[in-house]
Amino acid sequence: MTDLWDERKKALENQYFRKLEEEKIARLREDSKERLIRECCQDRCPKCGEPLEKMVFREVPLDKCPDCGGVWLGPKDLQILAEKDHRTWFQRWFQAEEDRKAG
């Protein structure tokens, strides 16, 4: 009788470790897909896939697509651009709206 319990315990243990291995393999496949996508799309427009051109606006490096006209900012670029003007773009936008309504 103990042999049946031991066999059952080993079977459940094998099932547990197989599930863990399958999960790890799935994660590795996803990571490699993401890495491949990043490598293939590097320096390309996320919208249309054309090669991006480097440009500088107010001393901030940006990427511009010559095909669709999109401008792509890095993680800190918007913050740097916002700090270069004493007003926020929200303030300028709302002021322009108020001026348009008043005029």
Q: Tell me how far apart the alpha carbons of residues 16 and 58 are, in angstroms, rounded to a whole number.
A: 57
* pLDDT score at 31: 80
* pLDDT score at 34: 75
Q: Which residues contact 57 (CB under 8 A, 6 or more apart)?
A: 81
| Alpha helices by DSSP H, the chain | 2-41, 77-83, 89-102
Parse the chain into domains and list their residue ranges. Answer: 53-102
Contact 24, 17 (CB under 8 A): no
- Identify the segments of the chain with pLDDT beneath 50: none
* pLDDT score at 1: 57
Q: Tell me how far apart the alpha carbons of residues 10 and 67 are, in angstroms, rounded to a whole number.
A: 61
Q: Tell me how far apart the alpha carbons of residues 97 and 27 are, in angstroms, rounded to a whole number.
A: 49
